[in-house]
C-alpha cells in the first residue's frame, strides 16, 4: 500500500519534509516531499491542479502559469510564502497521503538525486554548547570567554562550502604547523574532524535596518536539517588568532536532504535541558512557554571505517546552552537583515550524557576526545583519532513523542573523505 509507511522510515505522515530532487527520466531539479520510501514530485502535483485550492498555487493566468512554485530548482519560492499558505500545503499533502495518491506520483527514493535545497546568500555558524566549550577549553588549555554566557557566539562562513548529503569531501589542505616552533608548511590536514550540528533555514526575510524580536523568531524559520561542519583542526588552529576560522572550516558543510518544518517539530517542542545563568539580556530572553523553547531532536553520528560502523555520538538539540530561537534573534539583532534561504548552523551539539560503560558518548566531534576523560574505549581500541581517507561520516536525527504516537526523522547526512586534491608542487 502506497498510503502506508514502512517500519523504520523517517518520512511518516507526521513529517512531510521538503527537498529538491531530480530523476533519471527528468534531470531538471524540482521540489518534492518524502513519504515512506518514496519521493513525491510536488511540481507534478501542482501542474495537474492537486494544490489549486491554495492561494498562490491556483495557476492564475492560464495553464502556462501553473507550476511556478514547485518547478523551481530551489525551495526559496515556497519558503518565502506566508506560513499560513505553507501550512495549507502541508495539510493538503497529509490528506492525500491518508487517502492515497495515484501510484504514478510515487518515485522510489533510491532512484532520485538530491540537490542542495535552497538558494543561500548567507551562512553563519554558532558556538553554543556549554559542554563543547568546556571540552575545547581543556584541550586547547584556554579559558572560556565570559561573552559565551552573554551572547550566542557566531561567525560568518562561506556559502561555497555548503553541500548536499553524499557529496564527498576532499581532504582539505592549508597552512599547518606539525612541529611546534618549526616553520609552518602548506599541506593536507592531518587532523580532519566532523561536528554534529543542526542547520536552520530562513523563510520570511527581514529587511536590513530592522531588529528581530524573539517573539517573532519562529515566523522566520522554514525548517531544520542535520548538518556536518567538517573541520580541519590543524589548519583551524594555526589561523584562528586573531580573526577566527577560515580554511579550517571552508572545505565542506554537509546537510541532510529534507527540510523538516517547525509544524512537524511542534510535536516534540520542549524545554531546554541546560539551565542558563541569571542575567540573560532582555532581547535574548525567551518570552514564550517554557515547554516550547526548543525541540527534542535525538541526534547520532557514526563513522564507517573499513566496512565497520562505529557509534561516536548520541546527543540532543535540547542540550544546547543557546536555543535556535535565541541564535536567530542574535543573528538579526544588529540590523543586517535576513534573506530567504539563509542558513545558520547551531554549533556542535555536545552533551554531558554517558553510555552504559560510564563513558561520555554525547561528545559531538573528535577533537574533544583528546581530553583523557572524554575517551571512548571502542574508538581508542580501533585507532579512531581523526578521520582518514575513505572514512564515511553518517549522521541522523529523529523525533519521537511516544504519548502522541509520533516518530519521524531527517534522513541521513552522509559524506565520505577522499584524498586531498592533487597539487603539482607535491610531486616535484
- Active site amino acids: 132
Residue 368 counted as an annotated binding residue: no
**Helix/strand number for the chain, H first, E second:** 8, 25
**Structural contact between residues 221 and 328, judged by C-beta atoms closer than 8 angstroms:** yes
CA dist 382 and 388 (Å) reads 12
**Structural contact between residues 39 and 11, judged by C-beta atoms closer than 8 angstroms:** no
Residue 340 counted as an annotated binding residue: no
Q: Which residues pair with 264 in a beta bridge?
A: none
Report the b/e string of 89-112 with b at 16+ CB within 10 A.
bbebbeebbeeebeeebbbebeeb
C-alpha cell, 295: 525541540
Residue 342 counted as an annotated binding residue: no
Residue 229 counted as an annotated binding residue: yes
Q: Residue length, the chain?
A: 428
**Structural contact between residues 166 and 415, judged by C-beta atoms closer than 8 angstroms:** yes
Residue 313 counted as an annotated binding residue: no
CA dist 251 and 188 (Å) reads 12
Q: Ramachandran region of residue 126, left (φ > 0), alpha (ψ -120 to 50) or beta?
A: beta
Residue 197 counted as an annotated binding residue: yes
Residue 236 counted as an annotated binding residue: yes
Residue 348 counted as an annotated binding residue: yes
CA dist 205 and 326 (Å) reads 17
CA dist 214 and 148 (Å) reads 19
Q: Which residues have CB under 8 Å from 377's CB, separation 6+?
A: 357, 359
Residue 58 counted as an annotated binding residue: no
Specify the residue for cell string 535545497: 117
Binding site for substrate, residues?
127, 236, 348
Binding site for Mg(2+), residues?
229, 249, 253
Binding site, residues?
125, 127, 195, 197, 229, 236, 249, 253, 348
Binding site for Ca(2+), residues?
125, 195, 197, 229
Amino acid at each position: 500500500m502506497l498510503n502506508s509507511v514502512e517500519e523504520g522510515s523517517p518520512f511518516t505522515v507526521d513529517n512531510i519534509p521538503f527537498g529538491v530532487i531530480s530523476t533519471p527520466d527528468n534531470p531538471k531539479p524540482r521540489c518534492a516531499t518524502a513519504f515512506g520510501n518514496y519521493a513525491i514530485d510536488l511540481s507534478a502535483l501542482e501542474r495537474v491542479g492537486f494544490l489549486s485550492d491554495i492561494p498562490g498555487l491556483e495557476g492564475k493566468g492560464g495553464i502556462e502559469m501553473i507550476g511556478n512554485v514547485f518547478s523551481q530548482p530551489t525551495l526559496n519560492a515556497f519558503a518565502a510564502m506566508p506560513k499560513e499558505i505553507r501550512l495549507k500545503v502541508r495539510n493538503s499533502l497529509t490528506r492525500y497521503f491518508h487517502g492515497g495518491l495515484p501510484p504514478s506520483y510515487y518515485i522510489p527514493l533510491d532512484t532520485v538525486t538530491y540537490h542542495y535545497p535552497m538558494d543561500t546568500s548567507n551562512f553563519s555558524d554558532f558556538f553554543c554548547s556549554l559542554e563543547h566549550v568546556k571540552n575545547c577549553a581543556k584541550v586547547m588549555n584556554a579559558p572560556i570567554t565570559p561573552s559565551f554566557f552573554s551572547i550566542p557566539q557566531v561567525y560568518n562562513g562561506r556559502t561555497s562550502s555548503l553541500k548536499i548529503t553524499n557529496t564527498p569531501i576532499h581532504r582539505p589542505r592549508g597552512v599547518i604547523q606539525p612541529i611546534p616552533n618549526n616553520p609552518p608548511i602548506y599541506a593536507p590536514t592531518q587532523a580532519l574532524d566532523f561536528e554534529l550540528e543542526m542547520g536552520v533555514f530562513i523563510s520570511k526575510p527581514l529587511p536590513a535596518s530592522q531588529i528581530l524580536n524573539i517573539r517573532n523568531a519562529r515566523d522566520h524559520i522554514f525548517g531544520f536539517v542535520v548538518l556536518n561542519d567538517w573541520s580541519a583542526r590543524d589548519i583551524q588552529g594555526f589561523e584562528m588568532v586573531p580573526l577566527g576560522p577560515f580554511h579550517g572550516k571552508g572545505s565542506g558543510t554537509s546537510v541532510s536532504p529534507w527540510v523538516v518544518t517547525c509544524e512537524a517539530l511542534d510535536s516534540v517542542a520542549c524545554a531546554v535541558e541546560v539551565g542558563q545563568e541569571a542575567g540573560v539580556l532582555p532581547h535574548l530572553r525567551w518570552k514564550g512557554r517554557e515547554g516550547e523553547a526548543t525541540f527534542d531532536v535525538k541526534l547520532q553520528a557514526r563513522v564507517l571505517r573499513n566496512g565497520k560502523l562505529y557509534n561516536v555520538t548520541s546527543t540532543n538539540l535540547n542540550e544546547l546552552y543557546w536555543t535556535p530561537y535565541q541564535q536567530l534573534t542574535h543573528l538579526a539583532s544588529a540590523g543586517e537583515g535576513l534573506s530567504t534561504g539563509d542558513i545558520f548552523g547551531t554549533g556542535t551539539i555536545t552533551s554531558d550524557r554517558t553510555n552504559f560503560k560510564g563513558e561520555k558518548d554525547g561528545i559531538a566531534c573528535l577533537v574533544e576526545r583528546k581530553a583523557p576523560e572524554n575517551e571512548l574505549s571502542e574508538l581508542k581500541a580501533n585507532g579512531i583519532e581523526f578521520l582518514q581517507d575513505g572514512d564515511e561520516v553518517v549522521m541522523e536525527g529523529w523525533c519521537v513523542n511516544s504519548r502522541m504516537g509520533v516518530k519521524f526523522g531527517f534522513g541521513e547526512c552522509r559524506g565520505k573523505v577522499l584524498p586531498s586534491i592533487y597539487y603539482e608542487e607535491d610531486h616535484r
